[in-house]
Structure 1
Amino acid sequence: MPSTTLPFTSTPMDQVRLNLIHYNLWNNVTAHAHGPHAYLSGHPREKLVSTDPDEIRKEWIVPRLLKDEKLSVQEINEWFETIEKDEGVRPARVIIGIINDDGTVVYYFIHNGIVKPRQN
């Protein structure tokens, strides 16, 4: 009987979660799939930005495929509202994990409101 192999498939959530754990060495990475806005939470190994407090804090990550539709301000606001509802606190920032066609993951901060630029 010939063997059949199924193609490997994973969700954007799986890809970003594995990237955070194995490449970026994050701890306590947890998936939250409540409603249409699924997200991850976890603790980075070290501060992500030099201006962050010394204590490593919980971060929230929203996985997206590069080929997905364009983001709207309303959708981004819904991410903050969903996290606030689930966690009891509105985060100062959310990280978007964008997955390219080749599997590369790039991360960007999306802040809740206006943030003063860094001084170099």
Structure 2
Amino acid sequence: MDIETARREHLKPAVSPSPLQSLLQDSTLPSTTHPGVLTLAFQIQHNLQYQHSWTGLRLHTHSPLTNAPFPRPLLSGLPPHRLYVHPDEQIELLKEAERKRKASKKEGGGNDVLKIEPEPEREWILPTRLSEKWTLGRLSEIFDGIGLVPPDAETARQEEDGQVNPWRTTKRIVLAAADSDSTVVYYIVHDGVVKPRQN
């Protein structure tokens, strides 16, 4: 065995890249978008997937409505729990849960807990930096290019079967703001005025 081979055998094995590094290295980045904005989108995608258990995450660089490029890339995905429940839907869900609870009590079940778990819905996500300034005009550009629900095969099937949520009548996005220390905060932003939630 020569000296070079012996030296290689005693070296520590190479450290494998993190999931975020792998995502950035393996992705084919569209040439029309600034790489820093795409890196931010991948950072948010990674945070949603590994920290918040979102599934079905996709990167969108073009509007599904007009096929025009977005001012910046958007993400879409499915959260583990519903993020927003319309106040009128909330009332209906409570009424339905109360009916089920009463029916269960009549059948001998002693469950007094109202359990309300609406199905999660696909959401649009707008990756931003906390230091960015967003105006109504800039947000309007984003809303003009999106539909109520992000496109995917499941959404298309639900629309065909008439199973889309009738309470979802306003476009919304999840504004994901990343800070310089890699923390991310999320805000729900609606297109227009919405009825306030009841607690």
Q: Give the TM interval when normalised to the shorter protein.
A: 0.7 to 0.9
What's the counterpart of residue 83 of structure 2?
A: 48
Question: Match of 1:63, as an amino acid?
Answer: P
Count residues in correspondence.
Answer: 109
Give the number of the structure whose alpha-carbon radius of gyration is greater: 2
What's the counterpart of residue 72 of structure 1?
A: 135
Question: Match of 1:110, as an amino acid?
Answer: V
Q: CA RMSD in A?
A: 2.4
Q: Deviations over 1:5-56 (max 9, x none)?
A: xxx7871101100001000000100011222231000000111235586222
Is the alpha carbon distance of 1:38 and 1:91 closer, same or farther for their aligned partners in structure 2, counting shifts above 3 Å? farther
1:30 to 28, 47, 58: 58
% same residue: 35
The answer to whether the Cα contact below 8 Å between 2:57 and 2:78 also exists between their aligned partners in 1 is: yes
Written as runs of structure 1 = structure 2, the 5 A alignment for 1:54-65 is: 54-65=118-129
Query: Per residue, is there more strand in 1 or in 2?
Result: 1
Residue 100 (1) aligns with residue 100 (2): no
The answer to whether the Cα contact below 8 Å between 1:63 and 1:96 also exists between their aligned partners in 2 is: yes
Q: Deviations over 1:40-96 (max 9, x none)?
A: 00000111235586222110000001122x111111111111123x85xx8621110
What SS does the aligned partner of 1:47 have?
coil
Question: Match of 1:17, as an amino acid?
Answer: Q
What's the counterpart of residue 162 of structure 2?
A: none
Distance in 2 (CA, whole Å) between partners of 1:73 and 1:50 is 24
Question: How does the TM-score come out when normalised to structure 1?
Answer: 0.79
What SS does the aligned partner of 2:182 have?
coil
Query: Per residue, is there more helix in 1 or in 2?
Result: 2
The answer to whether the Cα contact below 8 Å between 2:170 and 2:192 also exists between their aligned partners in 1 is: no
**Structure 1 stretches (4+) deviating beyond 3 angstroms?**
49-53
What SS does the aligned partner of 2:146 have?
helix
What SS does the aligned partner of 1:78 have?
helix
